[in-house]
Structure 1
Amino acid sequence: MILPIVAYGNPVLRKVAEEIDQQYPGLEALIDSMWETMYASNGVGLAAPQINKAIRLFVVDSKQIIENLEDDEKDQYPGDEGITQVFINAHIKTLEGALWSYNEGCLSIPKVREDVKRNETVTITYQDENFKQHTRTFSGITARVILHEYDHIEGKLFIDYLPPLRKKLIKGKLNDISSGKIRVDYKMSFQ
């Protein structure tokens, strides 16, 4: 089922999400709906707070980004073949590598894209959809998508990384989004 994406301004986007266990009601259907919602919205990641659930759950499909890169662009991200993965109860262990800038967007903040600096590599612990525990290290585009989605379960947004002047310049767009004065080609929920 395609779910509405929560728009910027909704308090759920600023909550630190809670851990869940295997007894979380309707978890398998929720994960299926998150994948369906993400793909219907042309996203590469989706966190549960974006569908109004303050739980530590997000999905990532960075394969579609990697597959669409030109060959010379792929050379910039050696070893990053992309992933299609569910992350439950994720926690960052380490951030490593240089900070690098990339133009990010967010389904909850439509039509706003900004350059954000993030670390090249992240090591993260998480459980998959079967609650099997993993500790893995990711780099490149995949690390970036994971870090963006991870921020959502920590109550942070990509615009939080912007310098104060840049935030001022996009304030009007953000106000329009939070008040529902925006048109997108996917379902959204405005507070």
Structure 2
Amino acid sequence: MAILPIIEVPDPRLKTVSEPVTEFNDELKTLIADMFETLYDAPGIGLAAIQVGVAKRILVIDLQEPVPHDHDHEHGEHCDHQHEVINDPRVFINPEILDPSEDLNVYNEGCLSVPDQYADVERPAIITARWQDETGKQHEERLEGLLATCLQHEMDHLEGILFIDHLSRLKRKMVLKKLEKQRKEHGIAA
């Protein structure tokens, strides 16, 4: 497995419309494993293949739920459980959204390709998603909450759309200016 470089705005590859996956083979499984390793290293909760320069309709998502733990420790010991999470890695290949709800949710979204920038984006609260797994098997599930939002965000990448494209022109310019300023402060060339 390998950690892949994540491409960032203004890289034109992020505007690419990704191609459907037609071959479910070892090469695909390796890419998926590398995408998860990249996602966990970043760290993030979702990653589209185009964000690592591969124009295929592949998404990996892991919301990484915190582990609930008991605060009554023996002998009053202080235990740091900040890093304990339940991993739930999910792969979505050739995903489609069916029947989005009219009810909308607003989430403060961020993106590994637009580092450290966040903005409120409104999306359908509940969706039915259809996709294939790494073996090509078809799945369909009703999704809501953060998973529904994350899947829609990642699916936008497959169409060459970033979360900032959902913002007004003024807000988008402000986010990109903040990103540019941040890069200059850290000596990172755009």
State the TM-score, normalized to the length of structure 1. 0.80
* Aligned residues of 2:24 and 2:135 also touching (Cα < 8 A): no
Q: 2:108 aligns with which of 87, 95, 103?
A: 103
Q: Mark the CA change 1:165 to 1:35 in structure 2 (over 3 Å): closer, same or farther.
A: same
Displacement of 1:99:
1.4
Confirm whether residue 118 of structure 1 aligns to residue 123 of structure 2.
yes
Unaligned runs of 5+ in 2: 69-85
**Which entry has the higher C-alpha Rg, 1 or 2?**
2
Q: 1:131 aligns with which of 136, 143, 149?
A: 136
Q: 1:91 aligns with which of 85, 90, 96?
A: 96
Q: Secondary structure at the match of 1:144?
A: helix
Distance of 1:6 and 1:91 partners within structure 2: 24
Q: Secondary structure at the match of 1:90?
A: strand
Q: Mark the CA change 1:181 to 1:40 in structure 2 (over 3 Å): closer, same or farther.
A: same
Return the letter of the residue paired with 2:138: Q
Distance of 2:163 and 2:185 partners within structure 1: 19
Q: Mark the CA change 1:182 to 1:161 in structure 2 (over 3 Å): closer, same or farther.
A: farther
Q: Mark the CA change 1:93 to 1:50 in structure 2 (over 3 Å): closer, same or farther.
A: same
Q: Tell me the equivalent position of 2:16.
A: 15
**Identity score, percent:** 40
Confirm whether residue 40 of structure 1 aligns to residue 41 of structure 2.
yes
Displacement of 1:174:
4.5
* Aligned residues of 1:94 and 1:122 also touching (Cα < 8 A): yes
Displacement of 1:107:
0.4
Distance of 1:52 and 1:43 partners within structure 2: 17
Work out the number of aligned pairs and report it: 172
* Aligned residues of 2:24 and 2:134 also touching (Cα < 8 A): no
Displacement of 1:101:
1.1
Distance of 1:68 and 1:171 partners within structure 2: 35
Q: Which has the higher contact order (CA 8 A, sep 6+)?
A: 1
Compute the RMSD of aligned alpha carbons: 2.7
Q: Secondary structure at the match of 1:33?
A: helix
* Aligned residues of 1:8 and 1:174 also touching (Cα < 8 A): no
Unaligned runs of 5+ in 1: 70-80
* Aligned residues of 1:12 and 1:53 also touching (Cα < 8 A): no
Q: Which runs of 4+ in 1 moved over 6 A?
A: none
Return the letter of the residue paired with 2:135: N
Displacement of 1:100:
1.7
